[in-house]
A and B are shown apart, each in its own frame.
Chain A
Amino acid sequence: MKSLIQKLTEAYAPAGHEDVVRDLVRAEIRSLVDSVSVDALGNLIAVRKGQGRGGRRVALAAHMDEIGLIVSHIDSRGFARVTNVGGVRPLYAAGGRVRFTNGAIGVIGVEMRRERPDHIPALSDLFVDFGVSRAADVPVRVGDVGAFMGAYAELPGGRIAAKSLDDRIGVVVLIETLRRLKRSPHEIAFVFTVQEELGLRGAGPAAFAVEPEVVLAVDVTATGDTPNSVRMAVALGGGAAIKAKDTGMLVDPRLRDLLIQRAKEARLPYQIEVLEGGRTDAAEMQLARGGAIAGCVSIPCRNVHSPVEVVDLGDVEAAIGLLVATLSKPMDSLVIGD
């Protein structure tokens, strides 16, 4: 699984440019599902039929895209000005490297003004330096998109640091769930979405096509366990985070309770998540067409939207185990209507 995490986090997929990750995922799952398709926006939808009776139509969603930058102007001295693709923090971006779709690499500099040497930069204070001196030599043009670079590293204590663990770790969880799930009564659509970082844009159309009764997003969540962090009862290493609420969604309590029950039965570590600043694809999928029963299994992650996002492999294993346990059994407590 580590090699899959490394391969996927090193892949390039800023929002709207998910092709590389989509091809990697498709190759991993093709032999494990009954059908694979790509929709008009680029979502990858793989369906595995259920066995036996009493199954539900379930959608699992993880997003393929990551945050990035987009060129807005090339100045006369050969610096590229940029704006954000998704939730970019200038503090994390400054001093980093960015790789563009055509392979060009630049470093991110900051306007240094004598009158305010310690200020926290705004995005408009940043520029990309390609090591050239003239606009004509700049290897990108207005509208070209880039992704931050951040090498994969294994940390002591079974933890991984990399860029774009948000949400490649969710993609890995879906792939591993598909591999380990032996028998399920449910028809399961594994949905690998696009443009989540821009406002959950891919998920709604995917849910319109899939028409699920039950939706589970798998995404990262913040933690409250670092120095002077926000107050939040989620910790790295505390197990899979079963979401109760975030900014975009109230989780259906029946689904939340079912996940808790399955975690207990399988003796898997879990924690309850309330996220006060963030949403997942499940929020859009809950509201597509006539609505769905929606929830989310989260992977705790430090330094979200930085080149050094950190997750705990124990939490990842717990999330996979929880999904396999939940999908292997009936979901009779989840009833639409009465």
Chain B
Amino acid sequence: MAAPSPRRPAAIPNLELVKQLSEAVAVSGDEGAVRRLVVAAITPYVDSVTVDALGSVLAVRHGRGRGRRERVMIAAHMDEIGFMVTGIDGEGALRFETVGGVDDRQWIGKPVWVGPDRVPGVISAAPMHLLNAERRQTVVRLANLRIDIGASSEKQARSWIKIGQRGTFASTLTLLGRGRRPVSLRGKALDDRLGVATLIELLQGERFACDLCAAFTVQEEIGLRGAKVAAYAFDPKAAFALDCTPAADLPPAADEGENTRYNSRLGQGPAVYVADGHTVGDRRLLSYLEATAEANGIIVQRRQPGGGGTDAGAIHRSRAGIPSLSLSVPGRYLHGPNAIARVADWRASVDLIRAALARWPGLLALRAR
């Protein structure tokens, strides 16, 4: 692979929408806040848009010309990790369970938003004045954490919050860098609101050589559930999942030797998947994306093969099989309150998928290298 070219900060289209997408609370199973933003943003541009039985937004934008065009599905998931309120204690504090994959240690002391109205709260944490040496060494278990929404009684808390409501970390989207063009984005739910923003841009832009079947999916974080039925409904010829993937690329401590398990790296372009825990990426699509990147001077990296998964894991097994590939923006500290992603990596992913669809030659014209 070519050495990374100098990274020019890029402008961000739809910046206000990206901010709204990141800050919306749309925990798996309750994606309404993002769904409303998506439907409003794409409706003027698409040839059809529906919300399916599970809540995914399925939109089609026809390709150029009159002949028969292949249907290519692009999926990005609307949902994010978070929690569900499971009980309200006598003092008005909320008990909760995690939704999706969150390290229990992430919660303590963090501000959160609860419910569709984003009721503010904070996850309980004992002050260090009161912690003896032993307790400071102990990981606090989820069962011992509470959400404090500042209510003065159980009754008051019940008037603000209903059991079963979902919530997540309270973080605003912040642009990092000096001058007009930010270098990085910091915020919650970049996984996968960056993918959602990309898919919106694709629908708003030029028509492609294929029909674009856009699936803004639900419940990805709890088992790729929305994508499964979305793929069945679209019955496409091929599919791409646009997602975010962790970057554990900070240098290791001096005594740890070479970092061999970084998954992906910031600043190296979008990450294409050879294989993850759910999918062997279709080799024709992989070759096509890598060749398209090369032809357009876009740097890409191969995500380290291993675990994890994207909507492609459900899509490729749908019906009689659908060739699928994932393309992710690398992000540090994903599934926490403040992920960091490079603007240039994200914009390169938009350029790459756009270039790939603009000249889509048909699945059977593709060859694995």
Question: What residues of chain A have their CB less than 8 Å away from a CB belonging to chain B?
Answer: 15-17, 39-41, 43, 70-73, 75-76, 81, 83, 85, 124, 141-143, 145, 195, 198, 201-202, 204-206, 208-209
Are A85 and B319 closer than 8 Å at their CB atoms? no
Q: Which residue of A lies closest to B280 (CB)?
A: A16
Choose the segment among B88-96, B123-131, B300-308 that binds chain A (4+ C-beta atoms closer than 8 Å). B300-308
**Which residues does chain B contribute within 8 Å of A40, judged by CB atoms?**
320-323
Pick the residue among A85, A143, A205, A206 that contacts B302 (CB under 8 A): A143
- Tell me the residues in window 286-336 of chain B with beta carbons closer than 8 Å to chain A beta carbons: 302, 304-306, 316-323
Report Cα–Cα, A145/B275, bound state, in Å.
10
**Which residues does chain B contribute within 8 Å of A43, judged by CB atoms?**
321
**Which residues does chain A contribute within 8 Å of B321, judged by CB atoms?**
39-41, 43, 202, 205-206, 208-209
Pick the residue among B258, B280, B306, B318 that contacts A76 (CB under 8 A): B258
**Which residues does chain B contribute within 8 Å of A202, judged by CB atoms?**
321
**Which residues does chain B contribute within 8 Å of A145, judged by CB atoms?**
274-275
**Which residues does chain A contribute within 8 Å of B317, judged by CB atoms?**
201, 204-205
- Tell me the residues in window 316-369 of chain B with beta carbons closer than 8 Å to chain A beta carbons: 316-323
Starting from the known contacts A40-B323, A143-B274, 18 additional A-B residue pairs (CB-CB under 8 Å) come to: A17-B283, A40-B322, A41-B321, A43-B321, A70-B305, A71-B305, A72-B261, A72-B305, A75-B260, A76-B258, A124-B261, A142-B305, A143-B275, A145-B274, A205-B318, A205-B319, A205-B320, A206-B320
**Which residues does chain B contribute within 8 Å of A71, judged by CB atoms?**
305
Are B260 and A81 closer than 8 Å at their CB atoms? yes
Report Cα–Cα, A32/B80, bound state, in Å.
52
23 A–B contact pairs at CB < 8 A? A16-B275, A16-B283, A40-B320, A40-B322, A40-B323, A70-B274, A72-B261, A72-B305, A73-B261, A73-B304, A75-B260, A83-B306, A142-B302, A142-B304, A143-B275, A143-B302, A145-B275, A201-B280, A201-B316, A201-B317, A204-B317, A205-B319, A209-B321
In the complex, what's the smallest C-beta–C-beta distance from A187 to chain B, in angstroms?
18
| Size class of the contact patch on chain B | 20 to 34
In the complex, what's the smallest C-beta–C-beta distance from B187 to chain A, in angstroms?
29
Q: Which residue of B lies closest to A75 (CB)?
A: B258
Question: What residues of chain B have their CB less than 8 Å away from a CB belonging to chain A?
Answer: 1, 258, 260-261, 274-275, 280, 283, 302, 304-306, 316-323
In the complex, what's the smallest C-beta–C-beta distance from A84 to chain B, in angstroms?
9
**Which residues does chain A contribute within 8 Å of B275, judged by CB atoms?**
16, 70, 85, 143, 145
In the complex, what's the smallest C-beta–C-beta distance from A19 to chain B, in angstroms?
9
Are B280 and A83 closer than 8 Å at their CB atoms? no
Report Cα–Cα, A198/B319, bound state, in Å.
18
**Which residues does chain A contribute within 8 Å of B1, judged by CB atoms?**
141
In the complex, what's the smallest C-beta–C-beta distance from A95 to chain B, in angstroms?
21
**Which residues does chain B contribute within 8 Å of A205, judged by CB atoms?**
317-321
In the complex, what's the smallest C-beta–C-beta distance from B325 to chain A, in angstroms?
12
Given contacts A70-B305, A73-B260, contact A15 B280 (CB under 8 A): yes
In the complex, what's the smallest C-beta–C-beta distance from B231 to chain A, in angstroms?
11
Are B280 and A198 closer than 8 Å at their CB atoms? yes
Report Cα–Cα, A76/B275, bound state, in Å.
23
Are A83 and B305 closer than 8 Å at their CB atoms? yes
**Which residues does chain A contribute within 8 Å of B322, judged by CB atoms?**
40
Q: Which residue of B lies closest to A202 (CB)?
A: B321
Q: Which residue of A lies closest to B238 (CB)?
A: A40
**Which residues does chain B contribute within 8 Å of A70, judged by CB atoms?**
274-275, 305
**Which residues does chain A contribute within 8 Å of B283, judged by CB atoms?**
16-17
Report Cα–Cα, A75/B302, bound state, in Å.
15
Q: Which residue of B lies closest to A289 (CB)?
A: B319
Are A41 and B316 closer than 8 Å at their CB atoms? yes
Report Cα–Cα, A71/B275, bound state, in Å.
10
Report Cα–Cα, A195/B316, bound state, in Å.
12
**Which residues does chain A contribute within 8 Å of B318, judged by CB atoms?**
205
**Which residues does chain A contribute within 8 Å of B258, judged by CB atoms?**
75-76
Q: Which residue of B lies closest to A124 (CB)?
A: B261
Q: Which residue of B lies closest to A204 (CB)?
A: B317
Pick the residue among B261, B304, B305, B319 that contacts A208 (CB under 8 A): B319
Report Cα–Cα, A212/B121, bound state, in Å.
55
**Which residues does chain B contribute within 8 Å of A143, judged by CB atoms?**
274-275, 302, 305
Report Cα–Cα, A206/B304, bound state, in Å.
29
Q: Which residue of B lies closest to A71 (CB)?
A: B305
Centre residue among A17, A73, A143, A204 by max chain B CB count within 10 A? A143
**Which residues does chain A contribute within 8 Å of B320, judged by CB atoms?**
39-40, 205-206, 208-209
**Which residues does chain B contribute within 8 Å of A142, judged by CB atoms?**
274, 302, 304-305
Q: Which residue of B lies closest to A209 (CB)?
A: B320
In the complex, what's the smallest C-beta–C-beta distance from B220 to chain A, in angstroms?
18
Report Cα–Cα, A165/B72, bound state, in Å.
38
Q: Which residue of A lies closest to B1 (CB)?
A: A141
**Which residues does chain A contribute within 8 Å of B323, judged by CB atoms?**
40-41
Q: Which residue of B lies closest to A201 (CB)?
A: B317
Report Cα–Cα, A332/B50, bound state, in Å.
46
Centre residue among B261, B317, B323 by max chain A CB count within 10 A? B317
